[in-house]
Amino acid sequence: MSSLNDKIILFVGGAVGIGRAAAHLCAQRGAQVIIADLDAQQGQKTAAETGGVFFPVNITDPASVQSLAQQIAARFERVDVLIHTAGILQGAFESLDEFSPETFRRVLDVNVTGTFLVVQQIVPLLRKARRGVLILTSSGAATGGSSSFAYGSSKGAVNSFAITLTNRLEAEGMRVNVLSPGNIDTAMKRSVIAADVQRRGADFEKAVADSHLGDPAGVAKILAFLASDDADYVRGVISTR
Ligand SMILES: NC(=O)c1ccc[n+]([C@@H]2O[C@H](COP(=O)([O-])OP(=O)(O)OC[C@H]3O[C@@H](n4cnc5c(N)ncnc54)[C@H](O)[C@@H]3O)[C@@H](O)[C@H]2O)c1
């Protein structure tokens, strides 16, 4: 089991879901946890549970992300690992004819522009680490198709962004990985199932059971490994069940 002693790990989107599960496991393995999220109530709760600190952030707002980086810099000398799991899924099962441009823009704003803004502001703190690690989050939807035109598109863009990022940052000794989860039991995935059962007139609990959702704790084990020095030789996109 890889120790995370002395690692300062920033979980953007770590209030709930996969990010929260990863924050818990990384804290157990010795990491100093920093949670940053739009959801202050859940973010503070997760920070308290993990012995970490919480900072509010809206990743679509450049000033908010810049302020996050400044607050972290004032309190910590560096960030060793960025685990960026913040994201939204909207427009599930909407037809091409009905899909609103506003929804498309909103999803790309959070999932793509938000990822870019976080990376841009946090890389200077990762440069202060011995070997900074960036873990971004895509989805099986990027390559396998999505319930939402906007969501699938956004995750394809994250994969492409990570390729350019890797080309630039590897030369500086940083590692970039992309997590690509399958179907994991979180509020996001349950909202997609809810949209599906509503249009089909099906039973929600049965649909959840039939989906065989994975446990966020399972993905957390992969994230904790990727955050560790043992993952030094791992490259590119890592898919989970
Ligand atoms: N759950 C799955 O099955 C699944 C599958 C593939 C990919 N993913 C991806 O994994 C990541 C985590 O997903 P999850 O299921 O844990 O989702 P979740 O909805 O449970 O958590 C997402 C977190 O992002 C935060 N967030 C959203 N918008 C934000 C903003 N503008 N600024 C700051 N924080 C913001 C939310 O407050 C929340 O804490 C996402 O990027 C998602 O697209 C999830």
Per residue in 31-51, pLDDT tens? 999 999 999 999 999 999 999
State the pLDDT confidence band at 128, using cuts at 50, 70 and 90: very high
Residues with CB under 6 A from ligand 1: 13, 15-19, 37-39, 57-60, 85-88, 110, 114, 137, 139, 181, 183-184, 186-189
CB 118 within 8 A of CB 65: yes
Give me the domains of the chain, ranges plus CATH numbers.
8-239 (3.40.50.720)
Mean pLDDT of 129-147: 97
**Measuring from atom 7 of ligand 1, which residue has the nearest CA?**
139
**Please, what is the average pLDDT of the chain?**
97
The CA-atom distances, in angstroms, between 98 and each of 94, 183, 189, 199 are 6, 26, 22, 14
Tens digit of pLDDT for each residue in 211-240?
999 999 999 999 999 999 999 999 999 999
Give yes or no for residue 159 having a pLDDT over 90: yes
**Rounded Cα distance, 169 and 67, in Å:** 23
Q: Is the pLDDT of residue 97 over 90?
A: yes
Arithmetic mean of pLDDT, 173-196: 97
Contact 216, 21 (CB under 8 A): yes
Q: How confident is the model at residue 2 (pLDDT cuts 50, 70, 90)?
A: confident
CB 237 within 8 A of CB 159: yes
Ligand 1 center–CA 12 separation, angstroms: 9
Closest atom of ligand 1 relative to the 187 alpha carbon: 20
Contacts of 48 (CB under 8 A, 6+ apart): none
Ligand 1 nearest atom to the CA of residue 61, by list position? 31
In Å, what is the CA distance from 170 to each residue of 75, 160, 228? 27, 15, 17
Q: How far is the CA of 136 from the centre of ligand 1 (A)?
A: 11
